[in-house]
Amino acid sequence: MDEVWAGLRRDDPVHWHPGTADTPGFWVVTRHADVSAILRDPARFTSEKGNVLATMLHGGDSGAGRMLAVTDGPRHKELRTVLMSAFSPRALAGVAQRVRSTTRRLLEEALERGKVDFAQDIASHIPLATICDLLAVPEADRDYILTLTKSALASDYANQDSGEDRLARGELLLYFHDLTRQRRANPGDDVISLLATRKVGGELLHEDDIVLNCYSLIMGGDETSRLSMIGAVHAMIQRPDQWRALKSGDVTMASAGEEVLRWTTPTMHFGRVATEDVELHGRTIAEGDLVTLWFNAANRDEGVFDDPYRFDLGRSPNKHLTLGYGPHFCLGAHLGRVEITAMLDGLRTFVAEVEQVGDERHIYSNFLSGMSSLPVALTPQRGPTPWEE
């Protein structure tokens, strides 16, 4: 696939993907400069008609104007300010501490067993637990939520009936309706209570809006970081020099985390709809056209990254677009980074060697990219790791 994306970047950076009898065509934008220019231009490229292909192809997003990611303008700004009060580095300090201790515990348990599925047994427990902590989802419901989020967006199997993902989305929404009603009546200090008690546009948010935003936090906050962590381990297994660089302390946690984000790019695309005709590289994007922005392609742009196909944990600068850009820049960016660096730090501290002991399984999705299974054998670190000496 790399050659396909490289060919598009080079020869056809604003490519028209024709429609079918049932769905419209859409533009495919692959260069870093074009993707970032469109992301920072919400006036001409709106998110309010959906921001992922699955919804854009079917006429738009029912959460438009209500859910943060598909709202533009002043309402977006106001809602984002409310949510940001729970997602800033300062607000997340306690959560970050919990992420580190959960990561450490999961790694210790895995090391006792020796062989584990890194995806199922370790990575899948951290981001969802964290976002569930933020939303104060009761412990007893968490496995159920994990099953639903897994089938709502991506699929472990190529032939999954597409009705199943719709069903899972519906169940998640119903679940959060119940929780929202409880928090309206009896608020705590969690994010649902925050949304239930703060005003946007001079009024309290409608219950449906709260539910949609919870849904988006669960979906945005779970699979993405999880896929990055799994992809990081897989990449280091394949490139032992980078595992050694991590272990030796030759690279900082910050630069390693950013390269993991660039390399894995768990959300391959986001999309916009043009609000007026726009000329780009000799093509006319007409008002109303769907425009998809391919972050995986932009993150390998040879005009921006030296040797872009090299996984280099010390890479600097690293202006990847994995967390987006502009007004919709990822709300959970700090949290995602905390989760990924906690995992890298846990691995370099407690694990001497990681060996792959079975085939990885990739997910099937045109939105998310990564693995749902990665069987590994972990050897414990005895004594201090080189970076501690």
Q: How far is the CB of 248 from ligand HEM (least distance, A)?
A: 25
Find tokens 């997602």 and name the residue. Answer: 87
Footprint on residues 239-278 left by ligand HEM (CB under 6 A): 266-267, 270
Question: Closer to ligand HEM at the Cβ: 216 or 242?
Answer: 216
In this structure, how many other beta carbons lie within 10 angstroms of the beta carbon of residue 200? 22
Q: How far is the CB of 319 from ligand HEM (least distance, A)?
A: 14
Q: Report yes or no: 361 and 156 within 8 Å, Cβ to Cβ.
A: yes
Q: How far is the CB of 125 from ligand HEM (least distance, A)?
A: 14
In this chain, which stretch among 53-61, 233-241, 316-324, 348-356 interacts with ligand HEM, using CB under 6 A? 316-324
Query: With binding defined as CB under 6 A, does residue 193 bind ligand HEM?
Result: no
Question: Closer to ligand HEM at the Cβ: 106 or 330?
Answer: 330
Footprint on residues 58-97 left by ligand HEM (CB under 6 A): 68-69, 80
Question: Closer to ligand HEM at the Cβ: 15 or 337?
Answer: 337
Question: Closer to ligand HEM at the Cβ: 13 or 271?
Answer: 271
Burial class (CB in 10 A: 0-12, 13-18, 19+), 303: exposed
Alpha-carbon 214 to chain mean position: 15
Alpha-carbon 15 to chain mean position: 25
DSSP character for 90? T
Question: Closer to ligand HEM at the Cβ: 309 or 329?
Answer: 329
Query: With binding defined as CB under 6 A, does residue 35 bind ligand HEM?
Result: no
Q: How far is the CB of 177 from ligand HEM (least distance, A)?
A: 19
Burial class (CB in 10 A: 0-12, 13-18, 19+), 26: buried
SS3 state at 117: strand
Query: Number of residues in contact with ligand HEM, rule: CB under 6 A?
Result: 26
Rounded to whole angstroms, what are the CA distances from 383 to 282, 350, 351, 387? 61, 9, 11, 12
The H-or-E segment that residue 234 falls in is helix 207-238
DSSP character for 368? B
Q: How far is the CB of 218 from ligand HEM (least distance, A)?
A: 8
Q: How far apart are CA 362 and CA 54, in angstroms?
A: 19
Question: Closer to ligand HEM at the Cβ: 142 or 377?
Answer: 142
Q: How far is the CB of 233 from ligand HEM (least distance, A)?
A: 14
Amino acid at 374: L
Q: How far is the CB of 51 from ligand HEM (least distance, A)?
A: 4
Query: With binding defined as CB under 6 A, does residue 221 bind ligand HEM?
Result: yes
Terminal CA-CA length for the chain: 42
SS3 state at 213: helix
Query: With binding defined as CB under 6 A, does residue 47 bind ligand HEM?
Result: yes
C-beta contacts of 211-215 below 8 A and 24+ residues apart: 211/173, 211/176, 211/177, 211/180, 212/63, 212/66, 212/67, 212/173, 213/66, 213/67, 213/68, 213/79, 213/83, 214/135, 214/176, 214/179, 214/180, 215/63, 215/67, 215/169, 215/172, 215/173, 215/176
161: Cβ contacts below 8 Å, ≥ 6 apart: none
In this chain, which stretch among 95-103, 144-152, 308-316, 319-327 interacts with ligand HEM, using CB under 6 A? 319-327
Query: With binding defined as CB under 6 A, does residue 324 bind ligand HEM?
Result: yes
Query: With binding defined as CB under 6 A, does residue 341 bind ligand HEM?
Result: no
Question: Closer to ligand HEM at the Cβ: 266 or 375?
Answer: 266
In this chain, which stretch among 161-169, 181-189, 201-209, 326-334 interacts with ligand HEM, using CB under 6 A? 326-334
- Closest residue to ligand HEM in the complex (CB): 332
Q: How far is the CB of 367 from ligand HEM (least distance, A)?
A: 11
Using the rule CB under 6 A, which residue among 217, 253, 304, 354 binds ligand HEM? 217
Which residues are at the interface with ligand HEM (CB under 6 A)? 39, 47, 51, 68-69, 80, 131, 216-217, 220-221, 224-225, 228, 266-267, 270, 322-324, 328, 330-332, 335-336
